Amino acid sequence: MKFRFLLWAMGLLMARASRNNPAFQQQLQDKDLVFQMQTLDGKIARHFFVRNLRVTSKSGLHPQPAFAIAFRDPAYGFATLQSSNKQLAFMQGIQDKHIQIKGNPALVIWFQGLMKHLKPRKKA
């Protein structure tokens, strides 16, 4: 349940950032694609549409995402996405075959760069 909620919240945060954050919008420039995050068995999945400098999301599997990140199980997906060092957690998960990347790996790197803009801003 926590993993499903986290994916939904990520969709909300990305939708808001696509409307209000110029740095996030710049990363969306010239992108028109669908990507997906899911469990390996596909029971929990959410896909994200990137179109016209906006991000929207829907629950469930998409038939042809540009890339998909599949986690071993919901608990592992939640722990990885909540990790303090996400890049290390992703690399370790891929190496241990607990995370599978389907589709274009270059877009996964783009996605990780996009996620940096979702961190809460520190007060000056």
Residue 53 burial class via C-beta count within 10 angstroms: exposed 0-12, middle 13-18, buried 19 and up: middle
Q: What pLDDT does residue 121 have?
A: 56
pLDDT tens for 47-83 read: 999 999 999 999 999 999 999 999 999 999 999 988 8
Q: What pLDDT does residue 124 have?
A: 55
pTM of the model: 0.87
Domains in the chain (CATH in brackets) are: 2-118 (3.30.1050.10)
